[in-house]
Amino acid sequence: MTAATKRLSQFWHPIARVEDVTEQPQQFVLLDEKLVAFRTDAGISVFKDLCIHRGTALSLGTVKNGCIVCPYHGWEFDSTGACVKIPAQPGKPIPAAARAISYHVAERYGLVWVALEDPIQEIPHVPENLDQDATFTTDVFSVLEWNTSAGRSTENSMDVSHFPFVHPELLGDPDAPEQDPYDLHAEDWGQWFRVPNQFWRSVDGTQNSRITYVYTHVYPFTMHLYVTVDGDTSGNVMSVMVIASPTEAKKTKVFRIAFRNYVETNANFVSDYLFILEQDRVVVESIRPEEIPASLKQELHIKVPDLSSIAFRRWLEDVDMQGLAEV
């Protein structure tokens, strides 16, 4: 195989909900890198969780006057990562190399996004610009950690042919497991496809419809499920954005955001969703190897249902999954 031209560290990934990053420094993990995130008046800063002096975890420190203070010898780093105070030798020049290693950070859709290297792609967009539409609400309704790779998790989010087996009577009809062909639309940022006439029933069995999904996959690990009820003329739309953040090679933090232009009448929406995800988790965490094989030649692919997954795997063949380049 030829060497990959992209690294996962060159893409934006979410590490937390916005409200989970406070003035109290906390450790997060992305692509096996330990990070410290904290908030000052300048916004959110994300650094490598390591003091340049003796390697102490800055996440054990505190924020004072807009700076993070290392817990070991009290060096202070401003929101950009520059060391502005070395208490043991006041008045002496501070070496230029005395800097925390800082990363790109942005707040979007209620999440904190981080790029460990200069990003080569924007933060994943929301189809139809629903995030900018004042008639739509944005609700981060679930954050789950799964013992699998972000790739396997994302494939599960776009895999329709598992519904009758993993979610019988909820998302799929066990008596009708055939998958109709769909047209895959390739874009430079990812792919999308439309799957109409899908089975849907609430967990308590009181609601029952046929629905249409438009799946939009923004590479590498964001899936949008744009959902409308077949035959419904109300104009109600819900789009669920699913972002699998690769915390470790075999661990994934999955954020889910619902964009809706109506008031959800199913009081059990979140608990139903979590019930379904628990059915998925058991199966997906059993998959070996946990990471998607590096070559499309491994594992078996069925043309109709695995079409989008095949395109994803082709794209992944050009990506170094280990993340950060050696420095």
Per CB under 5 A, 280 contacts Fe ion: yes
Q: Closer CB to ligand FES, residue 77 or residue 200?
A: 77
Q: Closer CB to Fe ion, residue 280 or residue 290?
A: 280
Please state the closest distance from residue 307 (CB atom) to ligand FES, in A: 52
Q: Closer CB to ligand FES, residue 58 or residue 171?
A: 58
Q: Closer CB to ligand FES, residue 72 or residue 275?
A: 72
Q: Exposed, middle or buried: residue 172 (CB in 10 Å: 0-12, 13-18, 19+)?
A: buried
Please state the closest distance from residue 324 (CB atom) to ligand FES, in A: 22
Half-sphere exposure at residue 139, Cβ-oriented, CA atoms within 13 angstroms: 15
Which does residue 73 bind out of Fe ion, ligand FES, none, counting CB within 5 to 8 angstroms by kind? Answer: ligand FES
CB–CB of 243/222 below 8 Å? yes
Which does residue 280 bind out of Fe ion, ligand FES, none, counting CB within 5 to 8 angstroms by kind? Answer: Fe ion
Q: Closer CB to ligand FES, residue 12 or residue 75?
A: 75
Please state the closest distance from residue 231 (CB atom) to Fe ion, in A: 24
Please state the closest distance from residue 29 (CB atom) to ligand FES, in A: 20
Which does residue 306 bind out of Fe ion, ligand FES, none, counting CB within 5 to 8 angstroms by kind? Answer: none
DSSP strands (E only) in the chain: 6-7, 13-17, 26-30, 33-40, 43-48, 62-64, 67-69, 76-77, 83-85, 104-108, 111-115, 137-146, 185-186, 190-201, 208-218, 222-229, 238-248, 251-260, 319-320
Q: Which of 206, 217, 212 is nearest to 231 (CA)?
A: 212
* 261 token code pair: 């232009």
Query: Which of the ranges 16-24, 76-84, 130-138, 279-287 carries the binding residues for Fe ion, by CB under 5 A?
Result: 279-287
CB–CB of 69/59 below 8 Å? no
Q: Closer CB to Fe ion, residue 155 or residue 280?
A: 280
Q: How far is the C-alpha of 40 from the C-alpha of 29, rounded, in Å?
A: 20
Q: Exposed, middle or buried: residue 35 (CB in 10 Å: 0-12, 13-18, 19+)?
A: buried
Please state the closest distance from residue 280 (CB atom) to Fe ion, in A: 4
CB–CB of 59/36 below 8 Å? yes
Applying CB under 6 A, the residues found at the interface with ligand FES are 51, 53-54, 56, 70, 72-73, 75
Which does residue 75 bind out of ligand FES, Fe ion, none, counting CB within 5 to 8 angstroms by kind? Answer: ligand FES
Residues that bind Fe ion (CB under 5 A): 280
